[in-house]
Amino acid sequence: MKSKNVILIGFMGVGKTEIGKKLAEKLGLAYIDTDDIIESRAGKTINNIFTEEGEAVFRDIESGILDELAGKSGQVVSTGGGMILRPENVKKMKGMGPLVLLWASPEVIHERVKNAGTRPLLNVPDPMKKIDEILEFRTPIYKSVADLEVDTSRLSPEEACNKIVEFLGKGK
Ligand code: S3P
C-alpha cells in the first residue's frame, strides 16, 4: 500500500476532506488536498480566485497541481469536485491509483454546504437548483471513472473509511 495513492473524487460536500484525513491516518499515507495547495500557492481563497481571475484560471492551476502529484506515491489525494471535468486530469488520476467516488444525495450535499460560503459555484440565489444542475452534468462522468463508489449520506466518516479500506484490501 505504501507505494500507491488513493484518489478521492466527488461533488462538494460529500466528505472528501474528513474521510480523506481519516483514511490517510489508517493507511499511513500522506493526506493531500488539491484545494488547500491551490489556496496556499495563490495566497488567496478559492472564492477570490474565482471572482478575481475566473474559473478557467482556477482549472489551469488545479490541473498543474495534479501534474506535480502524479509523480509521487504514498498519498491520499482529495480532489476538488471539478477535477474530473478535464479528461486529461482523469487520465492522470487513473495512473496514480484507485479512484474512490464519494457520493451523497443532493439534499445531504445542500445541508452540508449551505452555511459554508466557501464554494463559489454555489454562491447563487438558489443553491439547491444549482446542485441539481451540476450533478446532472457531472454524474455520468463521476460514475464512469470511479473504481469504487461510497454513498456517505447515511455513513459516519469512520464507516465510509472502513468501506474504502476493505475495498483496497481486496485489491492487494
Ligand atoms: C469545485 C469544488 C471545490 C473547489 C471549487 C470548485 C467544483 O472543491 O475545488 O470550489 O467544481 O465542484 P470541494 O469539492 O473540495 O468543495
The CB of 118 under 6 Å from ligand 1? The reply is no
The CB of 113 under 6 Å from ligand 1? The reply is no
User: In 3-state terms, what secondary structure has residue 112?
Assistant: helix
Q: Could you tell me the three cell numbers for 119?
A: 464554494
In this prediction, residue 126 carries a pLDDT of 94
The CB of 121 under 6 Å from ligand 1? The reply is yes
Ligand 1 atom closest to the CA of 38, numbered from 1: 9
Arithmetic mean of pLDDT, 108-126: 91
Q: Collect all residues with Cβ–Cβ distance below 8 Å to 141 and sequence separation of at least 6.
A: 84, 85, 90
16: how many CB neighbours lie within 10 A of its CB? 27
**Tell me: the pLDDT tens digits for 72-112?**
999 999 999 999 999 999 999 999 999 999 999 999 999 99
Is the pLDDT score of 172 beyond 90? no
Rounded CA separation 39/4 (Å): 25
List, as one string, the DSSP characters of 63-93: HHHHHHHHT--SEEEEPPTTGGGSHHHHHHH
Arithmetic mean of pLDDT, 144-154: 97
* 168 backbone dihedrals φ, ψ, rounded to 5°: -65, -35
Going from the Cα of 29 to the center of ligand 1, the distance in angstroms, rounded, reads 23
The CB of 59 under 6 Å from ligand 1? The reply is no
What's the pTM?
0.96
The CB of 85 under 6 Å from ligand 1? The reply is no
Please answer whether residues 104 and 160 qualify as being in contact, where contact means their C-beta atoms are separated by less than 8 angstroms.
Answer: no
Rounded CA separation 114/5 (Å): 31
Is the pLDDT score of 154 beyond 90? yes
